[in-house]
Amino acid sequence: MNAIIGILINLISFIWSITKVLIPIMIIIEIFKDTQLIDRLSKAIKPISNFFTISEKSGVSLLFGMTFGLTIGAGAIIQSVKDYDVDKRSIFLITMFLSVCHALIEDSMIFAGVGANIAALLGARFISAILITFILSKFIKKDAFEIEK
């Protein structure tokens, strides 16, 4: 019984940790939307969106995920889907990119602490993510995720 209570306490603690991060990010995204910073960011990263053939508004989720990590990137993706009706193909490609290249700042600081070559690490992760996402973007058709009626 004590083990189950311990697991539940850890679970609640974990959920609270994620909530403390996601709610501020969602608030920041809303502020960005209200001040049209999302639109400016989307225009600034339009070449990246075009390169991966993803929707323009979904590029912001890519930036959040690269900078802050998967949890925040996921929150940004969820918010983008709700607010901008981002297509499933774009979500899939962003997820593939972030699976390789997420939390660049966070992870780099952790690996620097154990003596990793940061330039090599960043280069390998970034190039791998670009190649994987670009290849997938060419093979996955725009209507691949649509349900036939």
Query: Nearest 5°: phi and psi at 141?
Result: -75, 155
pLDDT score of 105? 76
Along the 149 residues of the chain, how does pLDDT read in single tens digits?
888 999 999 999 988 887 887 787 778 778 877 888 878 888 888 888 888 888 887 887 888 788 777 777 787 788 788 888 888 888 899 889 988 888 777 788 788 888 889 999 889 988 999 999 999 999 888 776 665 54
Task: Write out the DSSP string of 11-61.
Answer: HHHHHHHHHHHHHHHHHHHHHHHHTTHHHHHHHHTHHHHHHHT--GGGHHH
Helix, strand, coil percent content, the chain, rounded in steps of 5: 80, 0, 20
pTM of the complete model? 0.73
What integer pLDDT is reported at residue 149 of this predicted model? 46
The predicted pLDDT at position 148 comes to 52
